[in-house]
Amino acid sequence: MRILPKRLKRGDTVGVIAPSSPPNLENLKKALPFLEELGLNVKMGSSVEAKHGYLAGTEEERLADFHAMFEDPEVAGIICAGGGYGAARFAEQIDFGMIKENPKVFWGYSDITFLHTAIGQFADLVTFHGPMLASDVGKDEFHERSGRMFGQLFAPFELHYDEGISTLTAIGRGVGQGELVGGNLSLLRSGIGTKFEINTKDKILLIEDTNEQPYEVDEILNQLRLARKFEGLAGIVIGDFKNSEPKKPDESLSLDQVFDHYFKDLGIPVVKGFKIGHCEPHFSVPLGAVAKLDTEEMTLTILPGVQ
Protein backbone atom coordinates (compact mmCIF):
# COMPACT_ATOMS: atom_id res chain seq x y z
CA MET A 1 0.00 0.00 0.00
CA ARG A 2 1.27 3.42 -0.92
CA ILE A 3 1.36 6.33 1.50
CA LEU A 4 -1.78 8.46 1.53
CA PRO A 5 -1.16 12.18 2.06
CA LYS A 6 -3.11 13.93 4.78
CA ARG A 7 -6.33 15.56 3.67
CA LEU A 8 -6.45 19.33 3.23
CA LYS A 9 -8.62 21.51 5.43
CA ARG A 10 -9.83 25.07 5.23
CA GLY A 11 -7.10 27.45 6.33
CA ASP A 12 -4.29 25.26 4.94
CA THR A 13 -1.60 26.68 2.70
CA VAL A 14 -0.88 25.14 -0.70
CA GLY A 15 2.30 25.75 -2.63
CA VAL A 16 2.12 26.61 -6.34
CA ILE A 17 5.04 25.55 -8.53
CA ALA A 18 5.86 25.43 -12.25
CA PRO A 19 8.03 22.32 -12.76
CA SER A 20 7.86 22.46 -16.56
CA SER A 21 7.16 25.36 -18.94
CA PRO A 22 6.36 28.98 -18.01
CA PRO A 23 2.66 29.19 -17.09
CA ASN A 24 0.33 31.83 -18.46
CA LEU A 25 0.55 34.31 -15.60
CA GLU A 26 -2.74 36.03 -16.45
CA ASN A 27 -4.58 32.71 -16.25
CA LEU A 28 -2.73 31.84 -13.07
CA LYS A 29 -3.91 35.06 -11.46
CA LYS A 30 -7.50 34.28 -12.52
CA ALA A 31 -7.23 30.84 -10.90
CA LEU A 32 -6.26 32.02 -7.44
CA PRO A 33 -9.80 33.02 -6.34
CA PHE A 34 -10.82 29.39 -6.89
CA LEU A 35 -8.29 28.29 -4.28
CA GLU A 36 -9.51 31.02 -1.95
CA GLU A 37 -13.08 29.73 -2.34
CA LEU A 38 -11.80 26.33 -1.20
CA GLY A 39 -10.53 28.05 1.94
CA LEU A 40 -6.88 27.69 0.98
CA ASN A 41 -4.02 30.11 1.32
CA VAL A 42 -1.40 30.25 -1.43
CA LYS A 43 2.38 30.28 -1.30
CA MET A 44 3.85 30.98 -4.71
CA GLY A 45 7.06 29.23 -5.74
CA SER A 46 9.98 31.53 -6.42
CA SER A 47 10.47 30.29 -10.00
CA VAL A 48 6.82 30.40 -11.13
CA GLU A 49 7.44 33.63 -13.04
CA ALA A 50 10.93 32.65 -14.21
CA LYS A 51 11.71 31.93 -17.86
CA HIS A 52 14.59 29.95 -19.31
CA GLY A 53 13.63 29.52 -22.95
CA TYR A 54 10.73 27.05 -22.94
CA LEU A 55 11.32 26.25 -19.27
CA ALA A 56 10.03 27.96 -16.12
CA GLY A 57 13.55 28.60 -14.88
CA THR A 58 16.66 26.47 -14.82
CA GLU A 59 16.71 22.91 -13.49
CA GLU A 60 18.23 24.23 -10.26
CA GLU A 61 15.47 26.82 -9.81
CA ARG A 62 12.59 24.46 -10.54
CA LEU A 63 14.03 21.65 -8.44
CA ALA A 64 14.63 24.07 -5.55
CA ASP A 65 10.95 25.11 -5.66
CA PHE A 66 9.84 21.48 -5.82
CA HIS A 67 11.98 20.47 -2.82
CA ALA A 68 11.15 23.61 -0.82
CA MET A 69 7.40 23.00 -1.00
CA PHE A 70 7.72 19.42 0.20
CA GLU A 71 10.11 20.45 3.01
CA ASP A 72 8.07 23.44 4.18
CA PRO A 73 5.98 22.35 7.21
CA GLU A 74 3.54 25.19 6.58
CA VAL A 75 2.65 23.85 3.12
CA ALA A 76 -0.03 21.15 3.22
CA GLY A 77 -0.23 20.47 -0.50
CA ILE A 78 1.36 21.33 -3.83
CA ILE A 79 -0.53 22.28 -6.99
CA CYS A 80 1.22 22.71 -10.32
CA ALA A 81 0.56 25.88 -12.29
CA GLY A 82 0.92 24.17 -15.64
CA GLY A 83 2.67 21.58 -17.75
CA GLY A 84 4.38 21.82 -21.11
CA TYR A 85 7.84 20.30 -20.97
CA GLY A 86 10.76 19.99 -18.60
CA ALA A 87 9.86 18.14 -15.39
CA ALA A 88 11.89 15.09 -16.41
CA ARG A 89 15.04 17.21 -16.73
CA PHE A 90 15.51 17.37 -12.94
CA ALA A 91 14.03 13.98 -12.02
CA GLU A 92 17.41 12.40 -11.24
CA GLN A 93 18.14 15.09 -8.64
CA ILE A 94 14.91 14.64 -6.67
CA ASP A 95 15.32 13.69 -3.01
CA PHE A 96 12.70 10.94 -2.86
CA GLY A 97 13.63 10.05 0.72
CA MET A 98 12.73 13.57 1.80
CA ILE A 99 9.40 13.36 -0.04
CA LYS A 100 8.61 10.05 1.64
CA GLU A 101 9.30 11.68 5.03
CA ASN A 102 7.09 14.67 4.14
CA PRO A 103 4.12 13.17 2.29
CA LYS A 104 1.59 15.71 1.11
CA VAL A 105 -0.90 16.31 -1.68
CA PHE A 106 0.77 16.73 -5.08
CA TRP A 107 -1.56 17.68 -7.96
CA GLY A 108 -1.12 18.12 -11.73
CA TYR A 109 -1.13 16.24 -15.04
CA SER A 110 0.26 16.31 -18.60
CA ASP A 111 4.05 16.83 -18.31
CA ILE A 112 3.65 16.28 -14.55
CA THR A 113 3.00 12.61 -15.40
CA PHE A 114 6.76 12.04 -15.26
CA LEU A 115 6.81 13.29 -11.66
CA HIS A 116 3.74 11.24 -10.73
CA THR A 117 5.45 8.07 -11.90
CA ALA A 118 8.75 8.93 -10.23
CA ILE A 119 7.17 9.90 -6.89
CA GLY A 120 4.93 6.85 -6.90
CA GLN A 121 7.74 4.41 -7.56
CA PHE A 122 10.50 5.97 -5.46
CA ALA A 123 8.58 7.67 -2.62
CA ASP A 124 5.54 5.34 -2.48
CA LEU A 125 3.21 8.34 -2.36
CA VAL A 126 -0.27 8.63 -3.86
CA THR A 127 -0.43 11.72 -6.10
CA PHE A 128 -3.26 13.36 -8.03
CA HIS A 129 -3.87 13.60 -11.77
CA GLY A 130 -6.00 16.72 -12.05
CA PRO A 131 -6.41 20.14 -13.72
CA MET A 132 -3.77 22.78 -13.16
CA LEU A 133 -4.15 26.43 -12.27
CA ALA A 134 -2.93 28.35 -15.33
CA SER A 135 -3.61 25.57 -17.84
CA ASP A 136 -7.19 24.88 -16.76
CA VAL A 137 -8.65 26.55 -13.65
CA GLY A 138 -7.92 30.08 -14.86
CA LYS A 139 -9.66 29.62 -18.21
CA ASP A 140 -13.25 30.59 -18.97
CA GLU A 141 -14.15 27.05 -20.04
CA PHE A 142 -13.17 25.53 -16.68
CA HIS A 143 -16.10 23.24 -15.86
CA GLU A 144 -17.99 23.14 -12.57
CA ARG A 145 -17.49 19.36 -12.32
CA SER A 146 -13.72 19.83 -12.73
CA GLY A 147 -13.81 22.19 -9.78
CA ARG A 148 -15.82 19.79 -7.65
CA MET A 149 -13.16 17.11 -8.13
CA PHE A 150 -10.86 19.07 -5.80
CA GLY A 151 -13.22 17.97 -3.03
CA GLN A 152 -11.44 14.60 -2.86
CA LEU A 153 -8.50 16.42 -1.26
CA PHE A 154 -10.60 17.47 1.76
CA ALA A 155 -12.24 14.16 2.68
CA PRO A 156 -11.44 10.51 2.00
CA PHE A 157 -14.18 9.17 -0.27
CA GLU A 158 -14.39 6.66 -3.08
CA LEU A 159 -14.64 7.95 -6.62
CA HIS A 160 -17.19 6.34 -8.92
CA TYR A 161 -17.18 6.89 -12.68
CA ASP A 162 -20.09 5.54 -14.71
CA GLU A 163 -21.94 6.33 -17.92
CA GLY A 164 -23.81 9.12 -16.20
CA ILE A 165 -20.64 11.16 -16.71
CA SER A 166 -19.76 10.13 -20.28
CA THR A 167 -20.40 7.34 -22.77
CA LEU A 168 -18.05 4.42 -22.13
CA THR A 169 -17.11 1.64 -24.54
CA ALA A 170 -15.46 -1.66 -23.63
CA ILE A 171 -12.67 -2.87 -25.92
CA GLY A 172 -11.81 -5.79 -23.65
CA ARG A 173 -14.18 -7.23 -21.08
CA GLY A 174 -13.89 -8.40 -17.50
CA VAL A 175 -13.17 -7.09 -14.03
CA GLY A 176 -9.73 -5.86 -13.00
CA GLN A 177 -8.36 -4.46 -9.77
CA GLY A 178 -5.02 -2.88 -8.94
CA GLU A 179 -3.22 0.38 -8.31
CA LEU A 180 -4.11 3.08 -10.83
CA VAL A 181 -0.97 4.31 -12.59
CA GLY A 182 -0.10 6.24 -15.72
CA GLY A 183 -1.28 9.52 -17.17
CA ASN A 184 -0.05 11.25 -20.31
CA LEU A 185 0.91 8.65 -22.91
CA SER A 186 3.82 10.61 -24.39
CA LEU A 187 5.37 11.06 -20.95
CA LEU A 188 4.97 7.36 -20.13
CA ARG A 189 6.88 6.58 -23.31
CA SER A 190 9.64 9.04 -22.42
CA GLY A 191 10.45 7.03 -19.29
CA ILE A 192 11.06 3.77 -21.16
CA GLY A 193 14.66 2.60 -20.75
CA THR A 194 15.30 4.88 -17.76
CA LYS A 195 15.16 4.32 -14.00
CA PHE A 196 11.77 6.05 -14.15
CA GLU A 197 10.23 3.47 -16.48
CA ILE A 198 6.67 2.83 -15.32
CA ASN A 199 5.88 -0.44 -13.57
CA THR A 200 2.57 -1.72 -14.96
CA LYS A 201 2.44 -5.28 -13.61
CA ASP A 202 -0.86 -5.95 -11.81
CA LYS A 203 -1.79 -2.29 -12.27
CA ILE A 204 -4.67 -0.49 -13.98
CA LEU A 205 -3.08 1.75 -16.59
CA LEU A 206 -4.52 5.19 -17.35
CA ILE A 207 -3.60 6.76 -20.70
CA GLU A 208 -4.53 10.13 -22.18
CA ASP A 209 -2.91 12.60 -24.57
CA THR A 210 -3.43 15.65 -26.74
CA ASN A 211 -2.45 16.74 -30.26
CA GLU A 212 -1.29 13.25 -31.27
CA GLN A 213 -2.59 11.87 -34.56
CA PRO A 214 -3.51 8.17 -34.75
CA TYR A 215 -0.16 7.18 -36.28
CA GLU A 216 1.64 8.95 -33.43
CA VAL A 217 -0.50 7.22 -30.80
CA ASP A 218 0.16 3.96 -32.66
CA GLU A 219 3.91 4.54 -32.51
CA ILE A 220 3.85 5.16 -28.76
CA LEU A 221 1.60 2.18 -28.01
CA ASN A 222 3.83 -0.04 -30.11
CA GLN A 223 6.86 1.04 -28.11
CA LEU A 224 5.04 0.29 -24.86
CA ARG A 225 4.04 -3.10 -26.28
CA LEU A 226 7.63 -3.89 -27.25
CA ALA A 227 8.70 -2.81 -23.76
CA ARG A 228 6.19 -5.42 -22.46
CA LYS A 229 4.17 -2.82 -20.58
CA PHE A 230 0.87 -4.47 -21.54
CA GLU A 231 1.87 -7.83 -20.07
CA GLY A 232 0.40 -8.57 -16.64
CA LEU A 233 -1.88 -5.54 -16.60
CA ALA A 234 -5.09 -5.66 -14.56
CA GLY A 235 -6.91 -3.25 -16.89
CA ILE A 236 -6.66 -0.14 -19.05
CA VAL A 237 -8.53 3.15 -18.65
CA ILE A 238 -8.48 5.20 -21.85
CA GLY A 239 -8.96 8.86 -21.09
CA ASP A 240 -9.42 11.82 -23.42
CA PHE A 241 -7.36 12.14 -26.60
CA LYS A 242 -7.91 15.76 -27.52
CA ASN A 243 -7.23 16.99 -31.06
CA SER A 244 -6.19 13.51 -32.16
CA GLU A 245 -8.12 13.35 -35.42
CA PRO A 246 -6.00 12.46 -38.47
CA LYS A 247 -5.12 15.37 -40.73
CA LYS A 248 -5.66 13.10 -43.75
CA PRO A 249 -8.54 10.78 -42.76
CA ASP A 250 -8.53 8.94 -46.09
CA GLU A 251 -4.91 7.95 -45.51
CA SER A 252 -5.15 7.06 -41.83
CA LEU A 253 -6.42 4.48 -39.41
CA SER A 254 -8.85 5.88 -36.87
CA LEU A 255 -7.89 6.19 -33.22
CA ASP A 256 -10.47 3.52 -32.43
CA GLN A 257 -8.78 1.13 -34.86
CA VAL A 258 -5.45 1.79 -33.19
CA PHE A 259 -6.85 1.05 -29.74
CA ASP A 260 -8.55 -2.12 -31.00
CA HIS A 261 -5.31 -3.35 -32.54
CA TYR A 262 -3.35 -3.10 -29.30
CA PHE A 263 -5.98 -3.80 -26.66
CA LYS A 264 -8.85 -6.04 -27.83
CA ASP A 265 -6.96 -9.33 -27.43
CA LEU A 266 -5.24 -8.64 -24.09
CA GLY A 267 -7.87 -10.59 -22.15
CA ILE A 268 -8.34 -7.79 -19.61
CA PRO A 269 -10.93 -5.03 -19.13
CA VAL A 270 -10.18 -2.06 -21.39
CA VAL A 271 -12.61 0.85 -21.47
CA LYS A 272 -12.47 4.08 -23.49
CA GLY A 273 -14.41 7.31 -23.18
CA PHE A 274 -13.32 8.60 -19.77
CA LYS A 275 -13.21 12.38 -19.37
CA ILE A 276 -9.75 12.26 -17.88
CA GLY A 277 -7.05 14.41 -19.45
CA HIS A 278 -6.91 17.57 -21.56
CA CYS A 279 -10.67 18.01 -21.51
CA GLU A 280 -13.60 19.67 -19.77
CA PRO A 281 -14.93 18.44 -17.52
CA HIS A 282 -11.78 16.77 -16.20
CA PHE A 283 -12.38 13.89 -13.79
CA SER A 284 -9.43 13.97 -11.38
CA VAL A 285 -8.03 10.73 -9.97
CA PRO A 286 -5.52 9.66 -7.30
CA LEU A 287 -2.62 7.78 -8.90
CA GLY A 288 -1.38 4.90 -6.76
CA ALA A 289 -4.77 4.36 -5.14
CA VAL A 290 -6.47 1.00 -5.64
CA ALA A 291 -9.00 1.00 -8.48
CA LYS A 292 -11.52 -1.47 -9.89
CA LEU A 293 -12.54 -1.47 -13.56
CA ASP A 294 -15.72 -3.44 -14.26
CA THR A 295 -17.11 -3.79 -17.80
CA GLU A 296 -20.27 -5.56 -16.65
CA GLU A 297 -21.31 -2.58 -14.54
CA MET A 298 -19.31 -0.25 -16.81
CA THR A 299 -17.79 1.50 -13.81
CA LEU A 300 -14.43 2.66 -12.53
CA THR A 301 -14.20 2.80 -8.74
CA ILE A 302 -11.17 4.27 -6.99
CA LEU A 303 -10.41 4.17 -3.28
CA PRO A 304 -9.66 7.46 -1.44
CA GLY A 305 -6.40 9.25 -2.17
CA VAL A 306 -6.09 11.03 1.19
CA GLN A 307 -6.31 10.00 4.83
Q: Partners of 299 in the beta sheet?
A: 294
Measured CA to CA, the distance from residue 195 to residue 197 in angstroms comes to: 6
Tell me which of 186, 208, 212, 282 is the catalytic residue. 208
Tell me which of 47, 110, 190, 284 is the catalytic residue. 110
Catalytic residue check, 252: no
Catalytic residue check, 278: yes
Q: Residue 35 class from Cβ within 10 Å (0-12 exposed, 13-18 middle, 19+ buried)?
A: middle
245 CB neighbour count, 10 Å cutoff? 12
CA distances for 230 relative to 37, 224, 236, 259, 276, angstroms: 42, 7, 9, 13, 20
In the sheet that 41-44 helps form, which strands lie side by side, from edge to edge?
Answer: 41-44, 13-17, 75-80, 105-108, 127-129, 285-287
Tell me which of 190, 278, 282, 284 is the catalytic residue. 278
Pair 282, 131: CB distance under 8 Å: yes
Measured CA to CA, the distance from residue 185 to residue 20 in angstroms comes to: 17
Q: Residue 250 class from Cβ within 10 Å (0-12 exposed, 13-18 middle, 19+ buried)?
A: exposed
Active-site residue set: 110, 208, 278
